[in-house]
Amino acid sequence: MQDHPSGAKTTDTKPHRSLLERLTALISPEPESRAELLEILHDAHERKLLDADALSMIEGVFQVSDLTARDIMVPRAQMDVVDLNKPIDEWLPLVLSTAHSRFPAVDGDRDKVVGILLAKDLLRYYAHESFDVRDMLRPAVFIPESKHLNVLLRDFRANRNHMAIVVDEYGAVSGLLTIEDVLEQIVGDIEDEYDYDEEANNILPIHDGAGAMRWRVKALTAIEQFNETLGTALADEDVDTIGGLVAHRMGRVPRKGESVEIDGMRFEVLRADARQIHVLVVERLPGQPLAAVS
Protein backbone atom coordinates (compact mmCIF):
# COMPACT_ATOMS: atom_id res chain seq x y z
CA MET A 1 0.00 0.00 0.00
CA GLN A 2 1.17 3.55 -0.69
CA ASP A 3 -0.16 7.04 0.04
CA HIS A 4 -1.90 8.84 -2.82
CA PRO A 5 -1.30 12.62 -3.09
CA SER A 6 -4.95 13.14 -2.09
CA GLY A 7 -4.38 11.18 1.08
CA ALA A 8 -6.14 8.01 -0.13
CA LYS A 9 -4.30 4.77 -0.09
CA THR A 10 -3.86 2.78 -3.33
CA THR A 11 -2.59 -0.71 -4.04
CA ASP A 12 0.58 -1.07 -6.20
CA THR A 13 -0.18 -4.02 -8.45
CA LYS A 14 3.27 -4.07 -10.10
CA PRO A 15 5.72 -6.51 -8.52
CA HIS A 16 8.81 -4.89 -7.06
CA ARG A 17 12.00 -5.95 -8.81
CA SER A 18 15.35 -5.91 -7.12
CA LEU A 19 18.13 -3.66 -8.35
CA LEU A 20 19.97 -6.74 -9.68
CA GLU A 21 16.89 -7.85 -11.67
CA ARG A 22 16.50 -4.41 -13.21
CA LEU A 23 20.19 -4.21 -14.13
CA THR A 24 20.03 -7.71 -15.66
CA ALA A 25 17.00 -6.67 -17.75
CA LEU A 26 18.94 -3.69 -19.08
CA ILE A 27 22.04 -5.71 -19.88
CA SER A 28 20.23 -8.78 -21.29
CA PRO A 29 16.92 -7.66 -22.83
CA GLU A 30 14.29 -10.19 -23.94
CA PRO A 31 14.85 -11.68 -27.41
CA GLU A 32 13.17 -9.68 -30.13
CA SER A 33 13.39 -12.29 -32.89
CA ARG A 34 13.48 -16.02 -33.42
CA ALA A 35 17.18 -15.84 -34.25
CA GLU A 36 17.94 -14.15 -30.92
CA LEU A 37 15.86 -16.74 -29.08
CA LEU A 38 17.77 -19.57 -30.76
CA GLU A 39 21.05 -17.89 -29.82
CA ILE A 40 19.92 -17.91 -26.18
CA LEU A 41 18.93 -21.58 -26.42
CA HIS A 42 22.28 -22.52 -27.99
CA ASP A 43 24.06 -20.62 -25.22
CA ALA A 44 22.00 -22.54 -22.66
CA HIS A 45 23.04 -25.79 -24.34
CA GLU A 46 26.71 -24.82 -24.26
CA ARG A 47 26.38 -24.06 -20.54
CA LYS A 48 24.80 -27.48 -19.95
CA LEU A 49 21.43 -25.96 -19.02
CA LEU A 50 19.70 -27.64 -21.96
CA ASP A 51 20.55 -31.07 -23.32
CA ALA A 52 21.11 -31.77 -27.01
CA ASP A 53 17.86 -33.70 -27.48
CA ALA A 54 15.74 -30.90 -26.04
CA LEU A 55 17.54 -28.27 -28.14
CA SER A 56 17.14 -30.42 -31.24
CA MET A 57 13.39 -30.73 -30.75
CA ILE A 58 12.95 -27.01 -30.08
CA GLU A 59 14.84 -26.24 -33.29
CA GLY A 60 12.66 -28.77 -35.07
CA VAL A 61 9.51 -26.99 -33.94
CA PHE A 62 10.86 -23.73 -35.36
CA GLN A 63 11.81 -25.41 -38.64
CA VAL A 64 8.37 -26.98 -39.09
CA SER A 65 6.82 -23.53 -39.39
CA ASP A 66 9.38 -22.57 -42.06
CA LEU A 67 9.24 -25.71 -44.20
CA THR A 68 6.57 -26.54 -46.76
CA ALA A 69 5.28 -29.80 -48.20
CA ARG A 70 7.59 -29.32 -51.20
CA ASP A 71 10.65 -29.38 -48.92
CA ILE A 72 10.16 -32.86 -47.48
CA MET A 73 7.76 -34.73 -49.78
CA VAL A 74 8.62 -38.04 -51.39
CA PRO A 75 8.94 -37.11 -55.10
CA ARG A 76 6.34 -38.42 -57.53
CA ALA A 77 8.87 -40.69 -59.27
CA GLN A 78 9.70 -42.44 -55.99
CA MET A 79 6.14 -42.96 -54.79
CA ASP A 80 5.18 -46.59 -54.20
CA VAL A 81 1.67 -46.87 -55.65
CA VAL A 82 -0.81 -49.61 -56.48
CA ASP A 83 -2.45 -49.47 -59.91
CA LEU A 84 -6.06 -50.58 -59.76
CA ASN A 85 -6.03 -51.31 -63.49
CA LYS A 86 -3.65 -54.21 -62.85
CA PRO A 87 -4.43 -57.52 -61.15
CA ILE A 88 -3.67 -57.67 -57.44
CA ASP A 89 -1.03 -60.33 -57.99
CA GLU A 90 1.03 -57.86 -60.05
CA TRP A 91 1.41 -55.21 -57.34
CA LEU A 92 1.07 -57.34 -54.22
CA PRO A 93 4.83 -58.16 -54.19
CA LEU A 94 5.50 -54.39 -53.98
CA VAL A 95 3.24 -54.10 -50.94
CA LEU A 96 5.03 -56.99 -49.25
CA SER A 97 8.56 -55.83 -50.08
CA THR A 98 8.16 -52.17 -49.10
CA ALA A 99 6.10 -52.95 -45.98
CA HIS A 100 4.41 -49.54 -45.99
CA SER A 101 1.17 -49.28 -44.07
CA ARG A 102 -0.50 -47.07 -46.73
CA PHE A 103 -0.31 -46.82 -50.51
CA PRO A 104 -1.77 -44.29 -52.95
CA ALA A 105 -4.10 -46.13 -55.31
CA VAL A 106 -4.01 -44.85 -58.88
CA ASP A 107 -6.22 -45.48 -61.88
CA GLY A 108 -3.63 -46.19 -64.54
CA ASP A 109 -1.69 -42.93 -64.04
CA ARG A 110 0.11 -41.33 -61.09
CA ASP A 111 -1.91 -38.14 -61.61
CA LYS A 112 -5.12 -40.12 -61.10
CA VAL A 113 -4.95 -40.90 -57.39
CA VAL A 114 -8.38 -42.28 -56.47
CA GLY A 115 -7.77 -43.16 -52.83
CA ILE A 116 -5.49 -44.60 -50.18
CA LEU A 117 -5.16 -48.34 -49.63
CA LEU A 118 -4.31 -49.57 -46.13
CA ALA A 119 -2.10 -52.64 -46.24
CA LYS A 120 -4.03 -54.25 -43.38
CA ASP A 121 -7.18 -54.25 -45.53
CA LEU A 122 -5.47 -56.76 -47.81
CA LEU A 123 -5.90 -59.39 -45.11
CA ARG A 124 -9.39 -59.91 -46.49
CA TYR A 125 -7.85 -60.89 -49.80
CA TYR A 126 -5.82 -63.62 -48.09
CA ALA A 127 -8.92 -64.75 -46.21
CA HIS A 128 -10.51 -65.53 -49.60
CA GLU A 129 -13.44 -63.27 -48.87
CA SER A 130 -15.36 -61.46 -51.57
CA PHE A 131 -12.82 -58.73 -52.26
CA ASP A 132 -12.92 -55.54 -54.33
CA VAL A 133 -9.93 -53.25 -53.86
CA ARG A 134 -11.90 -50.13 -54.77
CA ASP A 135 -14.33 -50.80 -51.92
CA MET A 136 -11.39 -50.84 -49.50
CA LEU A 137 -10.01 -47.40 -50.43
CA ARG A 138 -9.96 -44.49 -47.99
CA PRO A 139 -10.38 -40.94 -49.32
CA ALA A 140 -7.15 -39.28 -50.50
CA VAL A 141 -6.21 -35.86 -49.11
CA PHE A 142 -4.66 -33.43 -51.60
CA ILE A 143 -2.54 -30.48 -50.51
CA PRO A 144 -0.57 -27.79 -52.40
CA GLU A 145 3.22 -27.83 -52.49
CA SER A 146 3.28 -24.53 -50.60
CA LYS A 147 1.41 -25.78 -47.52
CA HIS A 148 3.41 -25.16 -44.36
CA LEU A 149 4.18 -28.19 -42.23
CA ASN A 150 2.84 -26.72 -38.98
CA VAL A 151 -0.55 -26.21 -40.63
CA LEU A 152 -0.40 -29.68 -42.18
CA LEU A 153 0.43 -31.29 -38.84
CA ARG A 154 -2.58 -29.59 -37.29
CA ASP A 155 -4.77 -30.87 -40.13
CA PHE A 156 -3.37 -34.39 -39.77
CA ARG A 157 -4.27 -34.42 -36.09
CA ALA A 158 -7.70 -32.86 -36.52
CA ASN A 159 -8.78 -35.12 -39.40
CA ARG A 160 -6.90 -38.23 -38.26
CA ASN A 161 -5.18 -38.56 -41.62
CA HIS A 162 -1.72 -40.06 -41.97
CA MET A 163 -0.91 -39.40 -45.63
CA ALA A 164 -1.37 -36.48 -48.02
CA ILE A 165 -0.88 -36.29 -51.79
CA VAL A 166 1.04 -33.16 -52.84
CA VAL A 167 -0.05 -31.44 -56.07
CA ASP A 168 1.43 -28.53 -58.01
CA GLU A 169 -0.38 -25.39 -59.16
CA TYR A 170 -1.73 -27.23 -62.21
CA GLY A 171 -3.17 -30.08 -60.17
CA ALA A 172 -0.54 -32.63 -61.20
CA VAL A 173 0.79 -34.94 -58.49
CA SER A 174 4.20 -33.82 -57.20
CA GLY A 175 4.70 -36.35 -54.43
CA LEU A 176 3.39 -37.46 -51.07
CA LEU A 177 4.17 -37.12 -47.40
CA THR A 178 3.02 -38.70 -44.17
CA ILE A 179 2.51 -37.55 -40.62
CA GLU A 180 5.70 -39.43 -39.75
CA ASP A 181 7.62 -37.27 -42.24
CA VAL A 182 6.41 -34.14 -40.45
CA LEU A 183 7.10 -35.47 -36.96
CA GLU A 184 10.63 -36.43 -37.98
CA GLN A 185 11.36 -32.74 -38.54
CA ILE A 186 10.85 -32.29 -34.79
CA VAL A 187 12.10 -35.47 -33.13
CA GLY A 188 14.55 -36.72 -35.74
CA ASP A 189 14.38 -39.86 -37.83
CA ILE A 190 11.81 -42.39 -36.66
CA GLU A 191 13.12 -45.82 -37.61
CA ASP A 192 11.11 -49.01 -37.51
CA GLU A 193 11.97 -52.60 -38.30
CA TYR A 194 11.36 -52.02 -42.01
CA ASP A 195 13.57 -48.94 -42.42
CA TYR A 196 16.84 -49.38 -44.27
CA ASP A 197 19.43 -47.22 -45.97
CA GLU A 198 18.42 -46.97 -49.60
CA GLU A 199 21.42 -45.47 -51.36
CA ALA A 200 19.41 -44.82 -54.52
CA ASN A 201 17.56 -42.03 -52.69
CA ASN A 202 20.63 -40.39 -51.15
CA ILE A 203 21.22 -38.01 -54.07
CA LEU A 204 18.25 -36.58 -55.96
CA PRO A 205 18.42 -33.99 -58.77
CA ILE A 206 16.45 -30.79 -58.29
CA HIS A 207 14.50 -29.71 -61.37
CA ASP A 208 13.57 -26.08 -60.75
CA GLY A 209 13.74 -24.74 -64.30
CA ALA A 210 16.61 -22.40 -63.47
CA GLY A 211 19.16 -24.45 -65.36
CA ALA A 212 21.46 -24.79 -62.34
CA MET A 213 23.01 -28.13 -61.52
CA ARG A 214 21.61 -28.81 -58.05
CA TRP A 215 20.96 -31.90 -55.97
CA ARG A 216 19.21 -32.72 -52.71
CA VAL A 217 21.65 -34.86 -50.72
CA LYS A 218 21.19 -36.76 -47.48
CA ALA A 219 23.92 -35.81 -45.04
CA LEU A 220 24.70 -39.48 -44.33
CA THR A 221 25.58 -40.08 -47.98
CA ALA A 222 29.03 -41.66 -48.21
CA ILE A 223 31.63 -39.41 -49.83
CA GLU A 224 32.58 -42.29 -52.08
CA GLN A 225 29.02 -42.55 -53.41
CA PHE A 226 28.87 -38.75 -53.84
CA ASN A 227 32.09 -38.75 -55.87
CA GLU A 228 30.93 -41.62 -58.07
CA THR A 229 27.54 -40.02 -58.75
CA LEU A 230 28.63 -36.44 -59.39
CA GLY A 231 32.14 -37.00 -60.71
CA THR A 232 33.83 -35.10 -57.90
CA ALA A 233 37.03 -35.90 -56.03
CA LEU A 234 36.20 -35.01 -52.43
CA ALA A 235 38.61 -36.67 -50.03
CA ASP A 236 37.44 -38.95 -47.23
CA GLU A 237 40.54 -39.29 -45.07
CA ASP A 238 39.07 -37.41 -42.11
CA VAL A 239 35.33 -38.15 -42.48
CA ASP A 240 33.13 -40.67 -44.25
CA THR A 241 29.94 -38.74 -45.08
CA ILE A 242 28.99 -35.53 -46.86
CA GLY A 243 27.45 -34.11 -43.69
CA GLY A 244 30.62 -34.92 -41.81
CA LEU A 245 32.71 -33.23 -44.50
CA VAL A 246 30.68 -30.01 -44.30
CA ALA A 247 30.77 -29.94 -40.48
CA HIS A 248 34.51 -30.68 -40.54
CA ARG A 249 35.18 -27.85 -42.97
CA MET A 250 33.09 -25.38 -40.92
CA GLY A 251 34.54 -26.54 -37.61
CA ARG A 252 31.09 -27.05 -36.05
CA VAL A 253 27.60 -28.33 -36.76
CA PRO A 254 26.12 -25.69 -39.09
CA ARG A 255 22.56 -24.44 -38.89
CA LYS A 256 19.82 -24.40 -41.47
CA GLY A 257 20.56 -21.91 -44.28
CA GLU A 258 24.31 -21.81 -43.74
CA SER A 259 26.52 -22.79 -46.66
CA VAL A 260 30.13 -23.51 -47.55
CA GLU A 261 32.01 -23.93 -50.83
CA ILE A 262 34.24 -26.97 -51.20
CA ASP A 263 36.14 -27.70 -54.42
CA GLY A 264 33.73 -26.12 -56.86
CA MET A 265 30.61 -27.29 -55.03
CA ARG A 266 28.35 -25.18 -52.84
CA PHE A 267 26.80 -27.04 -49.89
CA GLU A 268 23.76 -25.38 -48.27
CA VAL A 269 22.19 -26.86 -45.15
CA LEU A 270 18.50 -27.53 -45.75
CA ARG A 271 17.81 -29.33 -42.47
CA ALA A 272 19.90 -29.79 -39.33
CA ASP A 273 19.61 -29.91 -35.57
CA ALA A 274 22.00 -29.29 -32.70
CA ARG A 275 23.70 -32.65 -33.21
CA GLN A 276 24.03 -33.21 -36.94
CA ILE A 277 23.15 -32.18 -40.48
CA HIS A 278 20.28 -34.09 -42.07
CA VAL A 279 19.79 -32.75 -45.62
CA LEU A 280 21.84 -30.51 -47.93
CA VAL A 281 21.27 -28.79 -51.24
CA VAL A 282 24.41 -29.09 -53.36
CA GLU A 283 25.15 -26.92 -56.39
CA ARG A 284 28.02 -27.19 -58.83
CA LEU A 285 29.55 -23.74 -59.26
CA PRO A 286 30.47 -22.60 -62.78
CA GLY A 287 34.15 -22.24 -63.64
CA GLN A 288 35.36 -23.89 -60.46
CA PRO A 289 37.99 -26.66 -60.67
CA LEU A 290 37.14 -29.93 -58.92
CA ALA A 291 40.14 -30.93 -56.84
CA ALA A 292 40.58 -33.13 -53.82
CA VAL A 293 39.81 -31.70 -50.40
CA SER A 294 42.91 -31.02 -48.33
Domains in the chain: boundaries:
33-66, 70-187, 201-284
Return the SS3 of 38.
helix
The pLDDT of residue 132: 82
Q: Which long-range contacts (CB under 8 A, 24 or more apart) does 135-143 make?
A: 137/105, 139/115, 140/104, 140/113, 140/114, 140/115, 140/116, 140/165, 141/165, 142/113, 142/166, 142/167, 143/69, 143/167
Rounded to an integer, the average pLDDT of 206-223 is 75
Angle, CA of 285, 202 and 273, to the nearest 5°:
85
Whether the predicted pLDDT of 28 surpasses 60: no
How many other C-beta atoms are found inside a 10 Å radius of the C-beta of residue 152? 24
Whether the predicted pLDDT of 212 surpasses 60: no
Whether the predicted pLDDT of 24 surpasses 80: no
Q: Which of left, alpha, beta for 110 (phi over 0: left; psi -120 to 50: alpha)?
A: alpha
- Gap between the Cα atoms of 185 and 63, Å rounded: 7
Return the SS3 of 18.
coil
Q: According to the per-residue pLDDT averaged within each range, which of 126-130, 203-207, 288-292 is highest?
A: 203-207
Rounded to an integer, the average pLDDT of 111-124 is 90
The pLDDT of residue 267: 95
Query: Whole-model pTM?
Result: 0.56
pLDDT digits (tens, 9 = 90+) for 43-54: 787 787 877 777
Give percent above pLDDT 90 in the chain: 27
Binned at pLDDT 50, 70 and 90, residue 82 comes out as very high
> Between 4.10.520.10, 3.30.460.80, 3.10.580.10, 3.40.190.10, what CATH number should domain 70-187 receive?
3.10.580.10
The pLDDT of residue 237: 83
C-alpha neighbours within 13 Å on the C-beta side of residue 182: 25
User: Which residues face 280 on adjacent strands?
Assistant: 217, 269
- Gap between the Cα atoms of 75 and 208, Å rounded: 13
**196 or 214: which carries more pLDDT confidence?**
214
Return the SS3 of 205.
strand
Rounded to an integer, the average pLDDT of 150-173 is 91
> Between 1.10.540.10, 3.30.465.10, 3.20.20.70, 3.40.50.720, what CATH number should domain 201-284 receive?
3.30.465.10
Return the SS3 of 80.
coil
The pLDDT of residue 7: 52
Whether the predicted pLDDT of 27 surpasses 70: no
